Amino acid sequence: MTDAASTPRPDQQPLPARVLVGRVVTPTGVLDDGVVAVEGGRVAWVGRRAEAAAAGYADLPADDGATLLPGLVDVHDHGGGGSSFPDATSAADALVGAREHLRHGTTSLVASLVTAPRDVLLERTATLADLADAGEIVGIHLEGPFLSEVRCGAQNPHDMLDGDPELVRAIAAAARGHLRTMTVAPEVPGVVGPGGVIETLVEVGAVPSIGHTDASTEQTEAAIASGVAALAAAGRPGARLTATHLFNGMRPLHHREPGPVAACLAAAARGEMVVELVADGTHLAHGTIRSVVELVGPHVGVDGAVAGPDGVALVTDAMAAAGMADGAYELGPMRVTVADGVARLTDGGSIAGGTYHLIDVVRETVGAGVPLVDAVRAASWTPAGVLGLDDRGGLVAGRRADVVVTDADLTVREVLRAGESIDLSA
């Protein structure tokens, strides 16, 4: 059966600049004998090797056991390669972190900040906007400052504020159109309600994200309903809210006090929300990862069509230590110690972000028992949809040629962004 993306290109078009062969992971399936043709920075054709000649691709390279994935999309990332986005004082500093993840297959990255004083948030947002203007990142995420002090995680509770719509507008102005998401706690005064933070985020073109919250199920449901209504009123009915690293930084799920987790899972099942999972084996148990993906993640039917909810985005929540050795690091004002690859606050011991690249999260997710196609879709197609990026996120004809070439075990060999091979040693 021909894959949904296998649309023959007209014979009169010139041959592509590059033809890749191997196991191809599309948004809806895996082609064990697949071909991806790249031309002019776009995917020109995707299909099976047996169909390639009829589509105009008769001279194919030998299959050397490669697996071809779409460029990965990380919507929650605080840095890497020794660089921390919340601490970067120049675009050059922040570029180190963005490039660290690019070399490991993340071709579209949202740079995340943490709670900080107003002037620091505005300065850091403006710095990251320079990086977004240059096309090195696809947007900015603020994890705070309108969060719960009792669920602060690795953030400074003293800098957390009640909802302030004017601060949201100031941050959006500093972001110059690049503010993508902001994490908020529904129970914080000024977040939910007419003219509150959730409505203001939608007004400035961003997506509200529920997280670092001690809210009840009812409070969370009200926040989700407010966000859904605001998105519809703004002419964005297909847009969805997100849940910031589901389970982590939230009141735990309990059968008599279900809290925010139950409300977020239900919203994802309804198609109103995408839940982030830091599926690195530290933040979540394998059984949790597997269960959530089965409940609200991408399901592919026997005919290759997506047959169920598409509500999971795999994220790294990475900090400066991603790709680095164990040792001492910073995450905003908080001191972090990394030991055995796990980042924790030096004082208190809370998990302080991740140290994985997104390809490592995909590998861990597959190791947890999630099918490869579902894990890859949750790290590419679904997060691209959250960001409204319909030109990437999948190996589909016409989309941007973001391709990650790996071994069978998902070790990165080569990364293409818009058809251009990235220097993995730089």
CA distance 286 to 375: 13
Handedness of CA 230, 236, 237, 240 (dihedral sign): negative
Does 352 belong to an annotated binding site?
yes
- The first and second tokens of residue 183, run together, are 């994490």
154 annotated to a ligand binding site: yes
From 3, 77, 214, 317, active-site residue: 317
Is 256 one of the annotated binding-site residues? yes
Determine the Cα–Cα distance for residues 278 and 195; give it in Å rounded to an integer. 32
What does the chain come to in residues?
426
Q: Which residues contact 156 (CB under 8 A, 6 or more apart)?
A: 114, 115, 116, 332, 333, 334
Whether 248 has a binding-site annotation, put simply, is: yes
Tokens of 11: 């014979």
The answer to whether the annotation marks 212 as part of a ligand binding site is yes
Question: Is residue 360 annotated as part of the catalytic site, yes or no?
Answer: no
Q: Per the structure block, which two tokens stand in for 254?
A: 């309990």
> What is the spatial distance between Cα 284 and Cα 302, in angstroms, rounded to a whole number?
29
Amino acid at 250: M
- Using DSSP's 3-state secondary structure scheme, residue 372 falls into helix
Assess contact for 169 and 197: CB atoms under 8 A.
no
Please indicate if the annotation marks 187 as binding a ligand: no
Distance CA 108, CA 242 (A): 17
Binding-site residue set for Zn(2+): 143, 212, 245
Binding-site residue set: 143, 154, 212, 245, 248-249, 256, 283, 351-353
Residues that are catalytic: 317
Binding-site residue set for substrate: 154, 248-249, 256, 283, 351-353
